[in-house]
Amino acid sequence: MKLFIDTANVNEIREAEAWGVICGVTTNPSLIAREGRDFVEVVKEITSIVDGPISAEVISLEHEGMIKEARELAKIHKNIVIKIPMTIEGLKAVKVLSKEGIKTNVTLIFSSAQALLAARAGATYVSPFLGRLDDVGMDGMYLIEEIVNIFDNYGIETEIIAASIRNPIHVEKAALAGAHIATVPFNVLQQMTKHPLTDIGIDRFLKDWEKVPKK
Ligand code: E4P
């Protein structure tokens, strides 16, 4: 499973990129708003940091508007992927954009039926939001498993991005379920590096090293 970072913060993206673990970035209007910067300026800067798919989301609700925004965003860089909400208008936009060779990431997926529709419309990626399902007392991971099974059954090439990740266990379980990608917030990437036994082990090695006779 590949890892993307789910943020619009360029410092976090630079840091995760330096670890060598991420190969893409997802943003959304809420993440962009947090940065208090111009949308296009932020997206351009991200493309200069990570050489991989960078998702940027449209705001229009009608397919004509989505297509117009998507064409403009796609001009920014060859790695831009257009994030489109899972609606009928979104499906219409995905159909047109996929024929134009513009990559799409259909977002706000909460059922496997929605994922199947997005894939059939020509989506490059679908983003099921597992954390938000967990938040309302549903089993987000089960949705990932269902979509993996359905896409496997029919040889569907649309890649599944496990999104709305809240903790390292989400990442591990999404990988076990067969998601192609998990898009992970920076704090969860940091949590993934940690294990108490690693810290204890380093401490013990350093203490023992002090006992080694030095010339
Ligand atoms: C996915 O691409 C979204 O940006 C993101 O994962 C949403 O996560 P949230 O539920 O934590 O806002």
Ligand 1 centroid, distance to 129 Cα (angstroms)? 7
Q: What is the mean pLDDT of residues 95-114?
A: 98
pLDDT exceeds cutoff 90 at 215: no
pTM, two decimal places: 0.96
CATH number of this structure's domain 2-211: 3.20.20.70
Decide: 169 and 191 in contact? Cβ < 8 Å: no
Ligand 1 centroid, distance to 182 Cα (angstroms)? 11
- Atom from ligand 1 closest to the CA of residue 6: 4
Going from N- to C-terminal start, the domains of the chain cover: 2-211
Rounded CA gap, 67 and 107, in Å?
A: 15
Over residues 114-170, the pLDDT tens digits come to 999 999 999 999 999 999 999 999 999 999 999 999 999 999 999 999 999 999 999
Quickly count: other Cβ atoms within 10 Å of residue 119's Cβ.
23
Ligand 1 centroid, distance to 210 Cα (angstroms)? 46
Rounded CA gap, 185 and 204, in Å?
A: 31
Mutate to test the pocket of ligand 1, among 132, 164, 171, 189 (most ligand atoms within 8 A of CB): 164
**Atom 7 in ligand 1: which residue has the minimum CA distance?**
164
Residues touching ligand 1 (Cβ under 6 Å) are 6, 26, 28, 107, 127, 129, 131-132, 163-164, 183
Q: What is the mean pLDDT of residues 17-28?
A: 98
* Catalytic annotation, pick one of 68, 83, 92, 211: 83
Rounded CA gap, 1 and 3, in Å?
A: 7
Over residues 58-73, the pLDDT tens digits come to 999 999 999 999 999 9
Over residues 25-39, the pLDDT tens digits come to 999 999 999 999 999
The pLDDT-based confidence of 207 (bands split at 50, 70, 90) is: very high
Any catalytic annotation for residue 83? yes
Ligand 1 centroid, distance to 131 Cα (angstroms)? 8
**Atom 6 in ligand 1: which residue has the minimum CA distance?**
164
Rounded CA gap, 118 and 88, in Å?
A: 10
How many CA atoms within 13 Å lie on the side-chain side of 171?
Answer: 21
